[in-house]
């Protein structure tokens, strides 16, 4: 009789908390409506302004770190609607900014689709334990998704403890003058169909690494020389691409749970979905944390890449190549035979793999796995980046079967040639049970990344697109079944 795979569901459950809010611009209506709102604020006396501002401060200061700086930022967004007048007092600017601001509850609808990586700072890890960072997809009003984080500890005996979560959430500073790689920029413009003399004229004088200021200056010179005829579309595409590649920076004083990556560019205006983080070790032993995610603008999806070394400074980058077209891209944690490797889903049905000399350029995908069992007969995909074991690359998968039920499985790929599947579970490792079946999207368990600690696989997973939970799996049991001929669980 086969030994069953030992699976332990842990007690920490991450539930949506509607009290975690940020302040976002709230600019209703057109120019006339905006002018009417401003007019009512301008009609107040200074005493009335001070009184109204004191009410707003009393009501909202305890809910945010620095409410006034956000009011001033939002005031600046509508400042051009003010007619010429004597300089406004700070209090009047603040109350106008408050009129064009509103709270957004980041996770009021759901907090799900987690991935987990070792924390870059292990100085506080207990003996035999591990500090970790978990990313989560938070979804609020309008189904706009963002990336939240949690930190925690795995103890030597396999217990999992999450750090206390702050009620404060803070957006990062957007670096005003980010840098770009010229080659990547050119390739992406060509993929967008912008391969003309105007684009060449803009990019030709730029260095291999250039800043947004350099780009703006070059655009201005070309505009002056050529004029506007035939140039607008090219400039719009260059602007869109520049906006889609940006840098973020958090204060080191913010706890992990206080950091939020909210949509910035127009291509992600409706959400940043399903970040798959991986700790990547390069040939020189340097470590970079990468994450692929899906940008969604309400109509189209665009796979993007996040790079960070410390979870304080983040580079957000577009991905290039004809294979960058669907969800579920997951980077291997190291190069294989000198090349980067990536899992992907090209056709919404099968699991693919591809290789590249550059982590930003992907093409030539090939199928490595097709649906085989009833529980995955609708489609299959990955549940995060592959994990290296002595037996092979362990890939957690998701399968969709009857009644759109999502289950989690596993496959084993050859270490030297990951296009070869050497083991595969014939049955799900994890399926929704009991209350896990209930949620925003019923009958779903799903993960965006797991890790190995000691003899256990730590697998965080989403519960029906609403909450998140954590389970651990005996690694030896799992590998034994994967290496058996039938891949059946006991």
How far is 43 from 52, CA to CA, in rounded Å?
13
Neighbours of 71 (CB within 10 A): 25
pLDDT tens, residue order, the chain (490 aa): 356 899 999 988 999 999 999 999 999 888 999 999 999 999 999 999 999 999 999 999 999 999 999 999 999 999 999 987 789 999 999 999 999 999 999 999 999 999 999 999 999 999 999 999 999 999 999 999 999 999 999 999 999 999 999 999 999 999 988 999 898 899 888 888 887 888 899 999 999 999 999 999 998 888 887 765 556 778 888 988 998 899 999 999 999 999 999 999 888 988 999 999 999 999 999 999 999 999 988 888 888 999 999 999 999 999 988 898 878 999 999 999 999 999 999 998 999 999 999 999 999 999 999 999 999 999 999 999 999 999 999 999 999 999 999 999 999 999 999 999 999 999 999 999 999 999 999 999 999 999 999 999 999 999 999 999 999 999 999 999 999 966 676 5
SS3 (DSSP) at 430 = strand
- For the whole model, what pTM was predicted? 0.93
Q: Taking a C-beta distance cutoff of 8 angstroms, is the pair 379, 328 a contact?
A: no
DSSP 8-state assignment for residue 339: B
How far is 129 from 127, CA to CA, in rounded Å?
5
Q: Taking a C-beta distance cutoff of 8 angstroms, is the pair 480, 168 a contact?
A: no
Give the CATH architecture of domain 7-17+109-173+246-483: 5 Propeller (2.115)
Q: Taking a C-beta distance cutoff of 8 angstroms, is the pair 273, 297 a contact?
A: no
Core vs surface per residue 270-292: b (16+ CB within 10 A) or e: bbbbbbbbbbbeeeeeeeebbbb
How far is 116 from 149, CA to CA, in rounded Å?
10
DSSP conformation letters of 249-310: E--TTS-GGGBEE---SGGGTTBEEEEEEEEEE-TTS-EEEEEEEEEE-SS-EEEEEEEESS
The residue assigned the tokens 């899992």 is: 343
Tokens, residue 176:
């005003």
The residue assigned the tokens 């991450």 is: 14
How far is 131 from 337, CA to CA, in rounded Å?
30
Which residues sit opposite 186 in a β-bridge? none
Neighbours of 88 (CB within 10 A): 17
User: What residues does each domain of the chain span?
Assistant: 7-17+109-173+246-483, 21-105, 179-244
Neighbours of 417 (CB within 10 A): 10
């Amino acid at each position: 009789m086969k030994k069953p795979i030992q699976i332990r569901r842990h007690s920490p459950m991450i539930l949506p908390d509607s009290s975690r809010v940020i302040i976002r611009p709230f600019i209703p209506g057109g120019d006339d409506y905006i002018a009417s709102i401003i007019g009512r604020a301008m009609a107040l006396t200074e005493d009335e302004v001070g009184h109204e501002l004191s009410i707003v401060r009393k009501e909202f200061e305890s809910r945010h770190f620095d409410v006034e700086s956000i009011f001033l930022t939002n005031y600046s967004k509508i400042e051009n609607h003010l007619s010429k007048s004597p300089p406004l007092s700070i209090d009047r600017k603040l109350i106008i900014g408050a009129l064009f601001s509103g709270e957004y509850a980041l996770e009021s609808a759901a907090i799900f689709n987690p991935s987990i990586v070792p924390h870059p700072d292990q100085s506080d890890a207990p003996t035999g334990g591990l500090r970790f960072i978990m990313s989560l997809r938070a979804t609020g009003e309008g189904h706009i998704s963002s990336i939240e984080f949690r930190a925690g500890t795995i103890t030597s005996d396999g217990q999992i403890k999450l750090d206390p979560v702050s009620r404060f959430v803070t957006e990062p500073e957007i670096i005003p003058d980010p840098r770009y790689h010229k080659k990547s920029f050119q390739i992406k413009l060509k993929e967008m169909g912008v391969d003309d003399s105007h684009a060449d004229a803009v990019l030709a004088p730029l260095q291999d690494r250039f800043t947004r200021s350099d780009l703006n200056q070059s655009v201005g010179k070309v505009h002056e020389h050529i004029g506007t005829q035939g140039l607008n579309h090219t400039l719009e595409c260059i602007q869109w691409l520049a906006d889609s590649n940006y840098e973020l920076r958090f204060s080191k004083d913010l706890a992990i749970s206080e950091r939020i990556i909210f949509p910035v560019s127009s291509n992600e205006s409706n959400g940043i979905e399903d970040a798959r983080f991986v700790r990547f070790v390069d040939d020189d032993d340097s470590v970079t944390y990468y994450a692929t995610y899906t940008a969604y603008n309400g109509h189209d999806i665009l796979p993007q890449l996040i790079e960070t070394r410390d979870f304080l400074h983040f580079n957000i980058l577009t991905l290039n190549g004809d294979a960058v077209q669907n969800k579920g891209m997951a980077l291997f944690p190291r190069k294989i035979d000198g090349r980067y490797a990536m899992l992907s889903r090209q056709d919404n049905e099968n699991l693919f793999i591809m290789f590249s000399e550059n982590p930003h350029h992907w093409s030539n995908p090939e199928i490595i796995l097709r649906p085989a069992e009833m529980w995955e007969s609708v489609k299959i995909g990955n549940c995060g980046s592959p994990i290296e074991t002595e037996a092979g690359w362990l890939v957690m998968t998701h399968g969709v079967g009857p009644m759109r039920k999502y289950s989690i499985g596993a496959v084993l790929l050859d270490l030297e040639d990951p296009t070869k599947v050497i083991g595969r579970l014939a049955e799900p490792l994890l399926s929704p049970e009991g209350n896990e079946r209930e949620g925003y999207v019923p009958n779903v368990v799903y993960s965006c990344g797991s890790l190995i600690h000691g003899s256990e696989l730590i697998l965080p997973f989403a519960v029906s697109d609403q909450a998140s939970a954590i389970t651990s799996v005996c690694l030896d049991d799992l590998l034994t079944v994967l290496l058996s001929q039938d891949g059946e669980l006991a």
